[in-house]
Amino acid sequence: MNYSIAIDGPAGAGKSTIAKSIAQKLEFIYVDTGAMYRAIAFYFLRNGIKPEENQKIQECIHEINITIEYEGDVQQVILNDENVTAHLRTEEVGNMASKFATNRDVRLKLVDLQRNIASTKNVIMDGRDIGTYVLPNANLKVYLTASSTERAKRRWLELKNKGIESDINEIEQDIIQRDEQDMNREFAPLRKADDAILLDSSNMTIDEVVNEIIELYRKGL
Binding residues: 9-17
Question: Is residue 129 at the binding interface for ligand C5P, with CB under 6 A as the rule?
Answer: yes
CB of 37 to ligand C5P, least distance (A): 3
Question: Is residue 127 at the binding interface for ligand C5P, with CB under 6 A as the rule?
Answer: yes
Question: Is residue 20 at the binding interface for ligand C5P, with CB under 6 A as the rule?
Answer: no
- Exactly one of 4, 182, 201, 213 binds ligand C5P (CB under 6 A); that residue is 182
- Exactly one of 5, 6, 7, 11 binds ligand C5P (CB under 6 A); that residue is 11
CB atoms within 10 A of CB 185: 19
Question: Is residue 174 at the binding interface for ligand C5P, with CB under 6 A as the rule?
Answer: no
Report helix, strand or coil for 3. Answer: coil
| Ordered strands of the 66-71 beta sheet | 66-71, 74-79, 82-83
CA distance 186 to 181: 10
State the binding string over 26-65 for ligand C5P (x if CB under 6 A, else -). -------xx--xx---------------------------
- DSSP character string of 54-85: HHHHHHHGGG--EEEEEETTEEEEEETTEE-G
**Residue 198 and residue 145 in contact, taking contact as beta carbons nearer than 8 Å:** yes
Q: How many residues bind ligand C5P (CB under 6 A)?
A: 15
Amino acid identity for residue 187 in this structure: F
Question: Is residue 9 at the binding interface for ligand C5P, with CB under 6 A as the rule?
Answer: no
CB of 118 to ligand C5P, least distance (A): 12
153: left (phi over 0), alpha (psi -120 to 50) or beta: alpha
- DSSP character string of 125-178: EEESSIIIII-TT-SEEEEEE--HHHHHHHHHHHHHHTT----HHHHHHHHHHH
CB of 102 to ligand C5P, least distance (A): 8
Q: Which is nearer to ligand C5P, 151 or 210 (CB)?
A: 151
Map the footprint of ligand C5P across residues 64-103, applying CB under 6 A.
Answer: 94, 97-98, 101
CA distances from 142 to 4, 57, 105, 107, 169 (A): 11, 32, 26, 21, 28
Residue set of the binding site for ATP? 9-17
Q: Which is nearer to ligand C5P, 134 or 213 (CB)?
A: 134
CB of 137 to ligand C5P, least distance (A): 16
Footprint on this chain of ligand C5P (rule: CB under 6 A): 11, 33-34, 37-38, 94, 97-98, 101, 127-130, 178, 182
